[in-house]
Amino acid sequence: MKASTQAGAVTFVLEPPVAISRGSSWTYSCRCVPDHGTVVITGCIDVKGHGEPNDVVLKVRLKLASGEDFKGEVEGLNRSETAGTYFYPLKFMQAGQFTRELKVDGPIDTVEVELVLWKTGTAAQYSLSRFGVEPASLRDESAFRWATQHLFHSPPPAPAKALVIGSLRSDSQAATLAELFPPAGRLWKKSSRIDRLEQFPSAPSDSSDYALITVVPDLDNWDWPLLQSGLLNDLLATNGRLLVAAPLTGTGKNEAWEKRFIDRFHSHRPGFNDLLHGLALTPFRLLAAAPMSGSVDKGPRYMWLALGRNEAFPAARRAMPELTDIILAGDWVRAAETIEQADRSSTEFLAASAWLRPLISNLAANSLRLEQAGDREASAMLRLAMHRLEPDDEKYAYEAIAHLRVAEKFELARKIVTECLQSMPDSLAVRLQDALLCAAEGEPDRGIEMLWQEAQGLPAITPSLRRTIAVVLRGYAQECQRAGIPTSHPQPLLLPEVANAYNSDPERFAARWHATPFAQKLEEDAQSRRAARKAAASAIPADRPLRMLVLTSDNWQFLVNLLDRVDTHDTGFEVRTFDFAFLEQHWSKEHLHELFAPVSMGLTQEKVWNRAIADDTTLGELVDWCDVVLCEWAGTHAIWMSRFLPEDKRLVVRLHSFEAFSQWPFFIDFGGIDGMIFVADHIRRFTDLQYRLGGHDLATTVLPNFIPLENFARPKGPQASRTLAMVGYANLNKHPLMAAEILAALRKDDPQWKLRLYGHPWSPETLNETERAYYDRFWAFVREAKLETAIEVMPYTTDVATALQDVGFIVSCSWREGTHEAVLEGMATGCVPVLRRWPMVKQYGAPESGYPGIPCFDTVEEAVAIVKASAEPETFAKASEKAAAYAMAQFDIEAVFPKFQDFMRQVVSR
């Protein structure tokens, strides 16, 4: 496609291929005369794929009128001996938009644009959904004249006719048409309504009689030409042309037409590239475009679109009229279903494909829109249609499989995999999708085996293989922890029914993970890293404080008191902090493979570390400064630090109950850790069993959270000996229903008993199905047992000591806990503990290992007996005093912090 342009209107619309890859390029040439030595290239590129920003190069070559290359300096472009004049679109694009203004000295005959993959060695492939170069603005009359000249270089031969629908913007525009068509050939009624063709004085008698149709809609009908494109196509002669006045830029005042434009194209503001995107849904192709200059404040700016018939459309409409009408109506989901059900080897489908294939970019854009709106099934069907239109394109094949898999349309995805493995057996991308599909269909072991075979058969691990390994391994870890219980919960061991099944034979379920070749590879990585770190370890100077970098990811809840202690006391520590969440948010999903695939399979630790500290130099500076890193929570940040922290730095990870019951520790490189702090002994036992810590040279200790309790003890109020409390209650794990059952049993003998519930309240509208069912059960029991006045729902508070002055018994009915701070804080205020043997962890010694000597219960009856044993005034006073003393001796920061100091010194001296 070539377009001869006039001064000030550089216009060329590029129809990109669906993909570019190494060794291929895409070029387009446009003749132009720069306006005062300026050529403005603007547009939008949607590039999807893998690689670095500078993998894609837009090269621009300028030729003089003599045909020689322009070799002068060109403002706005870079230059290299190899690439010539070029710039990198991705380097400066924001949301796909880019602009380059080229200053040239003298007339230019040709602007040649070439898009290529440039960076040496890249394996990336990029899809371009659209690429447009927006023309410069012209004055209103000039723009119309310029557009018509691109439609007809000379007047059409008689008896050609023109049809004007709507009102032209000026008499000068009518004069321009008069130069091309005689008065008898023009139908024009300024007051005519755009949606009423029958109002014209001479009704069209021949549906293909018009050489030119000019449509000038008012703002309320701006999309009429798009919606009626089939009708307009029928009215045109074989070589007929269409001239449309389309609004380009709105006022930003949220006018009705502008809002409809934005809703239709899902854009932020009406723009040129949105119109191009819409035109692809019509039987027309863009020949030229001329925006009119003007002030946005005075109203919308228009653009004249000069359109020609897409010759492939009539054949497509004759072959498959129903499908083409569905597409013209914009019903892409129905279109995708029709394409899938069609006989794609038929002559009808082949004829329609000539028009359908260029619409793949619209399929992609609409698929993305539907996916963002949460309609994964519809999105998957559009991706399937793209594959059906280009069945030999590897990219569309694996994208279709991936979207169908995510939408859980497994049967259709399996059909595509089977077909593609026959037609493109050498496609690694399709084979990887096959492994992912196996995992999703409930055959994760088969998926693991397929990936391992791929890894053994390749000379080097590719990035796509690493990413696939990471996805499958993460899902497989979840599968192992489900213990055969169907659930989509991302942390299945947090569910009581799953934990019960898992705890029936934890060694067997854990062994399933450790038996995989990838888990064995992770173990080999750990042993290798341990040896390298021992060789790199250096002595810590004894004549200065120990330099400790305290690191977490967004959650500092249990570190505040530790940091305050170091800040206000002479502890022998010098501390700095870093929040890893800043890096994780920046990395997004691009670096997940660094967490879940073995490092030795395709990565170099030093290279990853250097890339990370280039992203955030603060992290590198802090690590250089410190002797030891204390990582709070054993989450993804702990995985990353265990793998990539420089070998000469010590690392201590503090693990809570939440992470112990997640998949994260499966992926921690224990060879990169020197010490682990557990919040409770039963958590250490469970972690040791499931993640096999015994095979690693680790220092371990058990330390509860750092809590100053010295000011918690308060005199109890007169109602305390008849009042129970839960601090934190609004979820299934806390099991407040059991506390209500205990209350109901106590009130049978003494109606003075009450239960107070402290903490963040339930928010029923945000609860998932399981939590909502529990919420309903709880309140149904309260009503049935007539406890409405006996249960007081109290507001959330940080002043636990004051809140519990009128409470005598602190209740823990949880299914799973680590230390349960609410209990130890309640004891510090003088509350008597009523402590359940948390069922999900009791076989590992909980809670007695953390609360030795404290009576515990399994049943409501046992809990009632514990309460009654201390409920009378004399026994309550003694039990209350004993509970406060116990908490101070076991859990106060004065008792815990010296143990922490000793452990950290032990770790750095190993």
pLDDT, tens digit, 9 for 90 and up, residues 821-835 = 999 999 999 999 999
> Confidence class of residue 296 from pLDDT cuts 50, 70 and 90?
very low
Low-confidence winner among 310-319, 394-403, 671-680 (lowest mean pLDDT): 310-319
Q: What is the mean pLDDT of residues 630-644?
A: 96
* Model pLDDT, residue 649: 95
Cα–Cα separations (whole angstroms), residue 705 to 542, 797, 896, 899: 28, 19, 8, 12
Q: What is the mean pLDDT of residues 871-891?
A: 94
Tell me the pLDDT tens digit for each residue of 304-327. Answer: 888 888 878 888 888 999 998 888
Tell me the pLDDT tens digit for each residue of 263-286. Answer: 777 666 676 667 766 777 788 877
Between 203 and 655, residue with greater pLDDT: 655
* Model pLDDT, residue 135: 46
Which two structure tokens, joined as six digits, stand for 735? 């099991």
* Model pLDDT, residue 113: 66
Q: How far apart are CA 635 and CA 552, in angstroms?
A: 9
> Is residue 383's pLDDT more than 80?
yes
> Is residue 430's pLDDT more than 60?
yes
Q: What is the mean pLDDT of residues 680-706?
A: 91
Return the closest-CA partner of residue 34 out of 11, 59, 67, 14.
11
Q: How far apart are CA 755 and CA 240, in angstroms?
A: 83
> Confidence class of residue 39 from pLDDT cuts 50, 70 and 90?
low
* Model pLDDT, residue 279: 77
* Model pLDDT, residue 269: 67
> Is residue 31's pLDDT more than 80?
no
Beta bridge partners of 301: 249
* Model pLDDT, residue 629: 97
Which two structure tokens, joined as six digits, stand for 386? 């793209």
Q: What is the mean pLDDT of residues 316-340?
A: 86
Q: How far apart are CA 807 and CA 471, in angstroms?
A: 49
Contact predicate 717/834, CB 8 Å: no
Between 813 and 97, residue with greater pLDDT: 813
Q: How far apart are CA 63 and CA 79, in angstroms?
A: 16
The pair phi, psi for residue 25, each rounded to 5°, is -150, 175
What's CA 679's distance to the chain center, in Å?
A: 32
> Confidence class of residue 211 from pLDDT cuts 50, 70 and 90?
confident
Q: How far apart are CA 472 and CA 435, in angstroms?
A: 8
State the Cα torsion 352-353-359-361 to the nearest 10°: 160
> Is residue 9's pLDDT more than 70?
no
* Model pLDDT, residue 429: 93
* Model pLDDT, residue 594: 94
Cα–Cα separations (whole angstroms), residue 330 to 132, 308, 324: 22, 21, 10
Tell me the pLDDT tens digit for each residue of 512-560. Answer: 999 999 999 999 999 999 999 999 988 888 889 999 999 999 888 889 9
* Model pLDDT, residue 129: 45
Q: How far apart are CA 393 and CA 220, in angstroms?
A: 41
Burial of 29 from C-beta contacts in 10 A (0-12 / 13-18 / 19+): middle
Low-confidence winner among 102-111, 317-326, 870-879 (lowest mean pLDDT): 102-111
- At residue 7, the 3 state secondary structure works out as coil
Residue with tokens 């269409």: 242
Q: How far apart are CA 350 and CA 273, in angstroms?
A: 29
> Confidence class of residue 418 from pLDDT cuts 50, 70 and 90?
very high
The pLDDT > 70 percentage for the chain reads 77
Burial of 392 from C-beta contacts in 10 A (0-12 / 13-18 / 19+): exposed
Which two structure tokens, joined as six digits, stand for 424? 């493109």
Low-confidence winner among 18-22, 139-143, 309-313, 480-484 (lowest mean pLDDT): 18-22
* Model pLDDT, residue 615: 83
* Model pLDDT, residue 115: 64
Which H/E stretch holds residue 549? strand 546-552
* Model pLDDT, residue 655: 95
Tell me the pLDDT tens digit for each residue of 734-757. Answer: 999 999 999 999 999 999 999 999
Q: How far apart are CA 863 and CA 855, in angstroms?
A: 9
* Model pLDDT, residue 203: 39
N- to C-terminal Cα distance for the chain?
Answer: 72
Q: How far apart are CA 723 and CA 829, in angstroms?
A: 14
* Model pLDDT, residue 199: 34
Return the closest-CA partner of residue 709 out of 545, 893, 581.
893
* Model pLDDT, residue 23: 52
Amino acid identity at 888: M
Contact predicate 215/246, CB 8 Å: no
* Model pLDDT, residue 810: 97
- Give the number of other Cβ atoms within 10 Å of residue 567's Cβ: 10
DSSP at 674: S
* Model pLDDT, residue 107: 56
- Give the number of other Cβ atoms within 10 Å of residue 562's Cβ: 24
Q: What is the mean pLDDT of residues 291-304?
A: 61
- At residue 799, the 3 state secondary structure works out as coil
Beta bridge partners of 213: 163, 242
Contact predicate 176/146, CB 8 Å: no
Q: What is the mean pLDDT of residues 716-730?
A: 94
* Model pLDDT, residue 70: 67
Q: What is the mean pLDDT of the chain?
A: 82
* Model pLDDT, residue 357: 81
Q: Which of 33-42, 63-72, 609-618, 853-862 has the highest mean pLDDT?
A: 853-862
> Is residue 769's pLDDT more than 70?
yes
* Model pLDDT, residue 519: 95
Return the closest-CA partner of residue 164 out of 199, 134, 120, 132.
199
| Backbone angle region of 252, left / alpha / beta, with phi > 0 → left and psi within -120 to 50 → alpha | left
> Confidence class of residue 643 from pLDDT cuts 50, 70 and 90?
very high
